Amino acid sequence: MAMRLWRAFLATATVLASGAPAAMAQSSVTPMPARATRFADKPAIAFGTAWYPEQWPESRWDADLAWMKEAGFNTVRIAEFAWSTMEPREGEFHFEWLDRAIAAARRHGIMVVLGTPTAAPPAWLTQKYPDVLRVDEDGTRATHGGRRQFSFASQRYRDFARRIATKMAQRYGNNPDIVGWQIDNEIGPPSFGKEAISRWHAFLKERYGSIDNLNQRWATEYWSQHYNDFDQIPLHATGQQNPALLLDFKHFTTATWTDYVMNQASAIRAHADPRQFITTNTMFWNGGFDHFKLHRGLDLAAWDNYIQDADPDWVANGADHDLVRGYKQRNFWLMETQAGRVDWVPVNRALKPGQVREMGWQAIAHGADAILYWELRPARNGQETYYGTVLGQDGTPAPIFDEIAKLGSEIRKASDALADTNPVYRMAMLFSYDSRWAIDLQRLHKDFDPIDEFTDFYRPFRNGSQGVAVLSPSADLSAYPLVVAPALNVMTQEEADHLSAYVRAGGNLVLGPRSGMKDDADALWPERQPGPLQPLLGARVEQFYALDEPVQLAGDFGEGEASIWAEWLKPQSKDVRIRARYADPGGWLDGKPAIVSRKVGKGSITYIGAWLEPAAMRDVAQQLMDDAGVRPMIPNVPEGVEIGERSGAGKHILIAINHGDSPKPVAIPANALPVAGEVANDMLRGHGVAVFRVPAGN
C-alpha cells in the first residue's frame, strides 16, 4: 500500500513542488535558482559559519580556515559588524584586511557572503552625529556600545549606510569569491524621534490621501479623536491608542524598514555582479514588520534559527522554516543557527547529542539551501562570549565539532541530489501579519496568541500531509487542493475576492476563528464575520465568546473540546452543512453550530469557529484532508518522525528525521537509494536522519 501511494505522489510531485511563476511577479529581481547561489561553479548547498577575522590576529586566519574545511564548511559570512575596522575615522577607509581575509578564504576553497556593517555604527559616527541614534517611545535616546542603536528613519544614518555599502560594492561587487550580500543584521527596533514622526505623517498622507479619509477609516469620532491635519497625529506603538493608529504603525515600520534595506540594496546593485544575491537575515516569528512586503525587492529570504529549548518543538520550528520560505516562495538561507546552545534564555542548555545535525537536516527538508553556524569561535570579550561555538576560544574543536563535521560530510555527499530541488507541498496555510498584529492589539483572551493558534492548526495538517506551504493571503493558491487560514482576522475586499475565486475554481478553503472581522484599517466590517466572505460561506458568526473553561463539541469528526475561544455560527443558506455543534448545557453555546461547510462552485469553504484542543484539531484536520484528497508521502509514521520531500530536475529526495530519543520504524519505499544517514531494518535511531533518492517510476 505504501509503495502504491508513493508512486501516486511521484506522479504529481513536479506540480506541487513550490517555486511557481506567481512568486516571480512579486519582485523585479531575477529569480534565484533552487540552489544556494547563482554561480554554476559553486556548491549547490552552502554550509559554513560566521567568521570575524577582524577579531583575531591575522597569523591565526589560516588555522581557523583549515578547521572550517575539516568541518566540511564551504562558506563564511564576514564583515557584518566590522564598520569601525573598515572606517575607523570618518571618510578614512581600510579594506586591505578584508581583501586578505577574502583571499585567505579563497585559498581554502571557501566562498564568502559579505554583510554590510550597519547594525553596529562606529563610535565616531554616533558621537559626532547623535541625531542618528534611535529614540525609544518614552523619549530615551539610545547610546553607544550595543548594536541596532541607530534610528531607521535618520536620513543622515542612511547616507552613511549607503556610502559604506557603495564602497564595499565598488571593491567587491565583481569579486567571484563573493556570492552574496547580507544587508545589516536582524533589523527590527523602530524609532520615535523627530525624523520618524515626520516620516510617519508623510506615510499617513500617502496612505489615505486626505485627512477626511483617515478620519473616516479610523472612526475618529470615537473619544473625540478627530484630526484636522496629519501633523496632529501622534506616533505610538503601544498604549491606549486607536487600534487603527497602532496597526498603521506596523504598516509604517514595514514601509520604513523596507526603504532602509532597499537604500543599501540599490547601492550594491549599481556595482555588483548580478549573480551576487542580496538578502537580509530576519528572526523567528518577528512581528516588527511585514516580511512578505520587505522581501519583494530582495533576491532570497534568510533567517536566524535559534532553538531556545534543549527539547525543541520540531513541528513549530518547521512552521517557521515554511513561513520564511513563503516570503519569496523560493528556497532560503539559514544564515545563523546555533552550534549547541544560546546565551539569552533562563537556562542555556545545549541541544542533545544528534540534535544539531537533526535540526540541520530539518532546515534542508523545508527548503534551506544554506546552513551557517553562529559562530566559529567566541570573541575573548563582548556581549556574547558564552554562545555555543564550533571552536573554543583556544582555536581547537568544541565537543559539537564532530557532529557538525558529520553533517557537513553528509551534505557534501547529498549536494548533487539536492541541487535544483524544492520542497513538495500537499496543501497551504495562510499567514497574515495584519491579522497577527490586530489580534495581538485586542486579544480579548490572555491566551489568544495568534502564533500559538497558527501553530496549533499547522501541527496536525503538517503531520497529516507531510508538506505545508505557508503563504500570504494574496499568493497564487491554484496549486493547492486545500488552503487553511487559521485566523484571517484582517481581510481586504481584494483578498476576499481572491479567496472566493480560489473556492469557485475548485479549491477547498478552511477559515479559523476570528476570521473576516476587520479591514486593513483595523475597523470592523459592516457585516458580521467572516465579513466579505459571508456570502460565500452562507453563514455568519452570530456571537463570539472568550472561554474561561473548555466547552464540549461533537460532530462528523467525533467528540472533543474547545478552549480559549468559541463562536456561534448561524447558517443563512439552506445548503450550509453543520459539521459540529457545541454541548454547553445552560450556556450560550449549547446546541449551536461550531463548524460549518458549504460547497460553492467546484470547491468548498469551511469555517471552524473554535480553538480546538489538540485531539479534536487532529481529528478535524484529518477529516478535512480526506475531503480534499490530501494524502501523506508515507502513511502511518510514528509520533516524532518527520517526513520531508524535495523534488525537481527529475529527482525526488526523501528525508526522514527521528526527533525522538528512541528508535522508530519508517517504511522507506522499495528501491529507494540511500544518499546519507542511517536506517537499519526499517528502524531510524533516536535523533537519526535518513536521506534517500527515489528513482522515477518507482
**Phi-psi map region of 603: left, alpha, beta (phi>0 left; psi -120 to 50 alpha):** beta
User: What is the 8-class DSSP label of residue 55?
Assistant: G
Spatial separation of the C-alpha atoms in residues 698 and 3, rounded to whole Å: 8
Number of Cβ within 10 Å of residue 566's Cβ equals 27
- Which amino acid, 464? G
Spatial separation of the C-alpha atoms in residues 147 and 566, rounded to whole Å: 43
Spatial separation of the C-alpha atoms in residues 499 and 159, rounded to whole Å: 42
Spatial separation of the C-alpha atoms in residues 274 and 178, rounded to whole Å: 11
The answer to whether the beta carbons of residues 616 and 610 sit under 8 Å apart is: no
Spatial separation of the C-alpha atoms in residues 158 and 135, rounded to whole Å: 16
Please name the helix (run of DSSP H) or strand (run of DSSP E) that holds residue 562, with its range, or none: strand 558-571
Q: Cα-flanking dihedrals φ and ψ of residue 138, to 5°?
A: -85, 5
User: Residue 375, preceding bond cis, omega within 30 degrees?
Assistant: yes
Report H helices in 442-584: 450-465, 493-504, 534-537
Q: What is the 3-state secondary structure (H, E, C) of 199-234?
A: HHHHHHHHHHCCHHHHHHHHCCCHHHCCCCCHHHCC
Q: Where are the beta strands (DSSP E) in 218-353?
A: 277-279, 281-283, 302-305, 332-338
How far CA 191 is from CA of 87, 128, 157, 253, 295, in Å, comes to 25, 19, 13, 9, 21
The answer to whether the beta carbons of residues 655 and 314 sit under 8 Å apart is: no
The answer to whether the beta carbons of residues 2 and 635 sit under 8 Å apart is: yes
**In sequence order, what DSSP letters do the residues of 148-187 get, joined into one string?**
S-B-TT-HHHHHHHHHHHHHHHHHHTT-TTEEEEE-SSS-
Which of 336, 375, 410, 495 is flagged as catalytic? 336
Which of 186, 195, 358, 403 is flagged as catalytic? 186
Please name the helix (run of DSSP H) or strand (run of DSSP E) that holds residue 29, with its range, or none: none
Q: Cα-flanking dihedrals φ and ψ of residue 165, to 5°?
A: -65, -40
Closest CA to 467 of 301, 646, 684: 646
Spatial separation of the C-alpha atoms in residues 658 and 677, rounded to whole Å: 11
Taking the alpha carbons at both ends of the chain, their separation in whole angstroms is: 13
Spatial separation of the C-alpha atoms in residues 311 and 347, rounded to whole Å: 12
Spatial separation of the C-alpha atoms in residues 610 and 546, rounded to whole Å: 10
336 is catalytic: yes
Beta sheet of 689-693, edge-to-edge order: 422-423, 641-648, 651-658, 689-693, 673-677
**In sequence order, what DSSP letters do the residues of 364-430 get, joined into one string?**
HHTTEEEEEEE-SS--SSSTTTTS--SB-TTSSB-TTHHHHHHHHHHHHHHHHHHTT-EEB-SEEEE
Closest CA to 139 of 197, 201, 202: 197
Beta bridge partners of 17: 424
Q: What is the gyration radius of the CA atoms in the chain, in angstroms?
A: 26
User: What is the 8-class DSSP label of residue 586?
Assistant: T
Q: What is the 3-state secondary structure (H, E, C) of 622-659?
A: HHHHHHHCCCCCCCCCCCCEEEEEEEECCEEEEEEEEC
Dihedral sign of CA atoms 163, 165, 168, 170 in order = negative
Active site members:
186, 336
